[in-house]
Copies of this chain bind each other. A is one copy, B any other.
Amino acid sequence: MTRTAAMLELENQLLQPGVKGLPITEPLRQSDIGARRWSVLNADTSFPVALLKASSLEHNLRWMHGFCDQYGVQLAPHGKTTMSPQLFDAQLTNGAWGMTLATAAQVQIAYRYGVRRVLLANQLVAPADIRAILTLMRDDPSFEFFALVDSSAGVARLSKAAQQAGMERPLPLLVELGLAGKRAGCRSMEDALALAREIAAAPALELAGIEGYEGLLVGPDRNKDHEEVRQFVTHLSDLLRQADAEHLFKREQILLSAGGSAYFDFVASGFAQVKDLSRPVLPVLRSGCYLTNDHGFYHGLIEQLNAREGLAPGQGLRPALEVWSMVLSRPEPTLAILGMGKRDASYDMELPRALVSHRPGAGTPSALPEGCRIEKMNDQHAYLRLPADHAIALEVGDLIGCGISHPCTTFDKWPLMLVVDDDYRVQRAINTFF
């Protein structure tokens, strides 16, 4: 199916009552959502509701496109963040070279919705998962796929499976260079180079490039992070040069990929230095969280990146994702219970940040005073602590708008999110597939 046809099918689906956020009592065609002109500020929707701000999304798409152009790098945004066909489409339309994904199931979903170039930033090990990928490659010659490998065992499995499947083209692999004490990846340049040689020599495989993930280096000391990231980028580049010197790459281009959502500027500037190899190098960043940013963990990192890029506040990536909920109970003077919980908002890095309150109806939301904070969440509730010394006339039925920390773990809680304009009027919906 083409991207357009698949997207149309999604837009034309009948949504059933019970989809979180939708205020419907009868089935509703997804494409008819905008015509309802629901206002979140008027409490037209169900609550809790997850919102994407259209203007911030568009700004971030344009910003990242410009950033990559400026540095001469490509973008394969990590699709695991959103797993949303409409957002994949927006990313590809705004210049993305392909999509990064984490599992074979995610690749199958992305393929269904028209994605035709995938970098699996993970090892591909389970027989069923290898089969899923080889089937897509065999059935569609236009489907480009790349995976990582960090062990001889992994190379052997993939070579055997690809041979048994009788593939007409080799399976392209990137050697993953890892970091001591961190996640997957070869732990030394020597091991990585040896593995590159194995891939180049293995039947039904081909060496497509070198990969690493510097995002694991985010620690408490930013200066230390920066130093380690720069060093890691140098190691990746050195490994690429060594493998090229041994003529291990046979494809038209050599992939060089890294780049999470914290330090992709260091990666981009480092990769831009890698030139004069036997064939063109294609540097590929993989940030997933740039698209929505957040109000927590990534916000802080992105503010620092903006400063490094010399950007004034507001010029850089903007937070685009909020979860709104209603005050269900005001059982104590300094406590409000919200109808939003672990089922609705990220809690893995930080709890949501209560940003604004609004009494449904006319007017604009008010910033919450200092000291208002979500101090706990249960599965379906949040505990909003209010400062004792500051009178807040918060009532049952008032709305609380929250920012979140770590988009990935909020997206996976919403099969459908509503896209709103700057007045919080619903324009349309996007789907996610987790």
Residue numbers of A with Cβ under 8 A of B are 16-25, 43-47, 80, 102-109, 112, 122-123, 125-129, 131-132, 135-136, 150-151, 153-154, 157, 178, 180-181, 183-187, 326-332, 337, 339, 342-343, 347-348, 360, 378-381, 383, 395-397, 408-409, 412-413, 415, 433-434
Contacts and interface: CB of A to CB of B under 8 A. Distances in A.
A332 to B, nearest CB: 7
B103 A380 contact: yes
A126 B339 contact: yes
A329 B396 CA distance: 51
Contacts of A327: 125
Contact of A326 (B126, B135, B326, B380): B126
Given A20-B105, A24-B132, A151-B396, 18 more contacts: A16-B108, A18-B105, A18-B107, A20-B434, A43-B126, A46-B128, A123-B328, A125-B327, A153-B396, A157-B396, A178-B331, A187-B331, A187-B332, A342-B408, A343-B408, A343-B434, A379-B409, A413-B434
Given A106-B18, A153-B395, A129 B347 contact: no
A97 to B, nearest CB: 21
A105 B22 CA distance: 8
Nearest to A132: B25
Main secondary structure on chain A at its contact with chain B? loop
A205 to B, nearest CB: 16
Contacts of A46: 104-105, 126, 128-129, 132
18 contacts: A16-B108, A16-B112, A17-B105, A25-B132, A44-B127, A46-B105, A46-B126, A103-B339, A122-B339, A123-B339, A125-B326, A125-B328, A127-B360, A157-B397, A183-B329, A185-B329, A347-B348, A379-B408
Contacts of A339: 103, 122-123, 125-126
Contact of A153 (B80, B108, B343, B397): B397
B18 A112 contact: yes
A236 B434 CA distance: 41
Contacts of A128: 23, 43-47
Contact of A337 (B80, B183, B360): B183
A120 to B, nearest CB: 11
